[in-house]
Amino acid sequence: MRSRRRPARESLSREWRSPWWPVFDRPHDAGPPRRRPRLERLLDRVVPSGTGRWTTLPGTDGGPEVTAYRYEAPDRPRPSGALVWIHGGGMVMGAPWIDHRLCDRLARELGLLVVSVDYRLAPEHPFPAAVEDCWAALTWLHERAAELGVDLARIGVAGASAGGGLAASVAQLAHDRGVPLAFQGLVYPMLDDRTVLREDHGGRGQVVWTPAHNRDAWGWYLGHEVGVREERAYAVPARRADLTGLAPAWVGVGSADLFHDEDVVYAERLRDDGVPVDLVVVPGMPHAADMVPGLAAAQGFRKSFVAAVARALAEPTVERQSE
């Protein structure tokens, strides 16, 4: 298996190569994800969470309680901005601990309250479970804003990969239900199941998240094979016809990412429908490169995202410092 993956990584330009890629770039397994609860509990204990602490949020519309990490600096100004963060993993894997470092950074540097959702995963919990859990976190921030010391005008949602797709769904839901949202941050988001139907990906998606990964994940999340007509609102963000009135967006992706085309198209559609959009495309960057240690070329990408969050949600003095 390893020998099959190595040529794909070696196709990356020199600035994107790293000895850490094998940790992130795993071979495709056509079977459902294997849950390893003991390992997950161990990683949750040993990966430093910084200011993060476990919390339990009420579910919405009679749904189950939602667990999440809550990050905030001891000297967080009140009221402050707040961000719902949604981790990646193709809707089928992942956990908040993978983003402890980023969420703690946003809380400390920008003075935000950050809530990272431990949402339910497919295939055990297909759509709409994950969207409902993330929506529960957003409504919790709004309903308890005064108690939490949160400025209702400075609440946003963001996520990476599958989390970016869920963030886009939550932003659509917020618009339709009249819940104010100041920002949506879509970090190489998983937005369109129809990418699975394409035969030519232009050489993209050779590292970390491949067409095979994408096909299986969408099928498990939606509960049916991709290609079947999907009309359920919020299931596939890119299938929404009208994007008018959605929250201002930051969309970032690399040119070597499988999601490049769908992300650029979604950003352009947002812009065409009058939504303020900051689109960042990094030449040669593969999926999730900003999570790989030591990749200097990815630091500008991460910095751009943090600066966008600051502009939208932080105090003006903090915003200027993050630039």
Residues 96, 68: Cα–Cα separation, whole Å = 8
| Residue at token pair 């999340």 | 221
Among candidate residues 104, 133, 257, 290, the one labeled active-site is 257
DSSP 125: S
Reply yes or no on whether 213 is catalytic.
no
Dihedral of CA 204/207/213/217: which sign? negative
Residues 242/322, Cβ–Cβ less than 8 Å? no
Residues 236, 221: Cα–Cα separation, whole Å = 10
Residues 150/141, Cβ–Cβ less than 8 Å? yes
Helices 162-176, 129-143: crossing angle, 10 deg rounding: 60
Strands (E), 143-190: 150-160, 183-187
Three-class secondary structure of residue 138 per DSSP = helix
Residues 89, 162: Cα–Cα separation, whole Å = 6
Among candidate residues 87, 125, 213, 287, the one labeled active-site is 287
Reply yes or no on whether 99 is catalytic.
no
Q: Which of 123, 68, 106, 122 is nearest to 187 (CA)?
A: 106
Residues 95/119, Cβ–Cβ less than 8 Å? no
Buried b (16+ CB within 10 A) or exposed e, 279-312: bbbbeebbbbbbbbeebebbeebbeebbbbbbbb
Three-class secondary structure of residue 47 per DSSP = coil
Dihedral of CA 103/172/189/298: which sign? negative
Reply yes or no on whether 287 is catalytic.
yes
Among candidate residues 100, 161, 175, 213, the one labeled active-site is 161
Q: Which residues are catalytic?
A: 161, 257, 287
